[in-house]
Structure 1
Amino acid sequence: MSAPGKKKSVLFFCLGNICRSTMAEGIMRHLVQQKGEAEQWLIDSAGIGDWFIGSAPHEYTMKILKKNGIVGYKHTGRQIKREDFNTFDYIFGMDHDNLSDVESFKPKSPFSAKLKLLGEYDPEKQLVIVDPYFAGTIDGFEQVYEQCYRCCKNFLESYDK
């Protein structure tokens, strides 16, 4: 929960910041906009690796978002930073390897962010959001969309409860 007057905030991260984390970011931005709460939120995404710094989201990510009515989403790939742990309320990874990598990277000093798997909010109990990048087909991106949508919607509904 955010302090009074402070924006609510969430950061999504995955391995490269072009598929899963950007999908979740686009969905979350869309959901808060639909609720009329866009000005109350800070939403971003990042990657663990530096391969796609400065890159746009994967073409299949953008196709799936557009297919589902999410248009106008823009993002420039970036790498997660230690400062993110005190900027965001929640930092969500997509799988156990991602979480483990960031656990070893997080600041040693106390920080305010809650570090979790986004899949913890999946009402269908699918904890891991599988990386569609290596499959090379759009089907995996469709599955990522469905799961991220469920998780983001459930997270948003439970945020202040």
Structure 2
Amino acid sequence: MTHILFVCLGNICRSPMAEFIMKQWLTEQGQSHLFHIDSAGTSGWHNGEDMHCGTADILDGLNIDSRGFVSSQVRPQDAEKYDYIVAMDANNLQTLQQLLTKDAQHMFVITDLLPELNYPQGVPDPWHTGDFEETKRLLQASCKPLLAHITAQSV
């Protein structure tokens, strides 16, 4: 089983959206049994909280059940627990690189898999932009390339 951790700053907007969109996509592909997907934040600002209502609304609109989600913070032991740690942006990747010791090819910014979309700094934070639809669009677009990246790494 491959373990993937999606990481943003507070674990209430982007990373939970990525977690649940990827889980749903893997289920649709008949591959959910091959993966364990989680999310966390680099800050502890929202530990124990539910996801942002904007993220919950997007997931509801996709008919994705996100009940039971609780925000959590990245821990040093996550470097050993997860095969892939996928940051939502360059700032969070930098924080992860300082916090964790992990092979660089297994820790990256998700938009690195989507160079044609020209988001070199990562997925914009809808907490600031208010654009949860943009976040959804980028995260949905990343599912297939992420699976391809993981598959290529395991060959």
Q: TM-score, normalised by structure 1?
A: 0.85
Q: Greater helix share, 1 or 2?
A: 2
1:159 is paired with a residue whose SS is: helix
Aligned length: 150
* 1:103 CA displacement: 1.1
Partner of 2:147: 156
- Deviation of 1:111 (Å): 6.1
- Which residue pairs with 1:68 in the alignment? 62
* 1:17–1:134 CA distance, 2 compared to 1 (3 A): same
CA-CA distance at 1:124 after TM superposition? 2.2
Residue 120 (structure 1) aligned with residue 112 (structure 2): yes
What displacement does 1:15 show?
Answer: 0.4
* Long gaps (5+) in structure 2: none
User: By how many angstroms is 1:84 displaced?
Assistant: 0.9
Shift of 1:87: 1.1
Relative to structure 1, the CA distance from residue 45 to residue 72 in structure 2 (aligned partners, 3 Å threshold; closer, same or farther) is closer
2:127 alignment partner AA: Y
Q: Which residue of 2 aligns with 1:78?
A: 72
- Structure 1: how far apart are the matches of 2:149 and 2:67? 24
2-structure distance, mates of 1:144, 1:67: 14
Aligned residue number for residue 33 of structure 1? 27
Aligned-residue identity in percent: 29
Task: Compute the TM-score of the two structures, normalised by the length of structure 2.
Answer: 0.88
1:1-161 matched pairs, under 5 angstroms: 7-72=1-66, 74-107=68-101, 114-122=106-114, 123-127=116-120, 128-135=122-129, 137=130, 140-161=131-152
CA displacement at 1:68 relative to structure 2: 2.2
Q: Cα distance, 1:82 vs. partner?
A: 1.1
Query: CA offsets, 1:27-51, max 9 Å, x none?
Result: 1100111112222111000001111
1:157/1:113 Cα in 2 relative to 1: closer, same or farther (>3 Å)?
closer
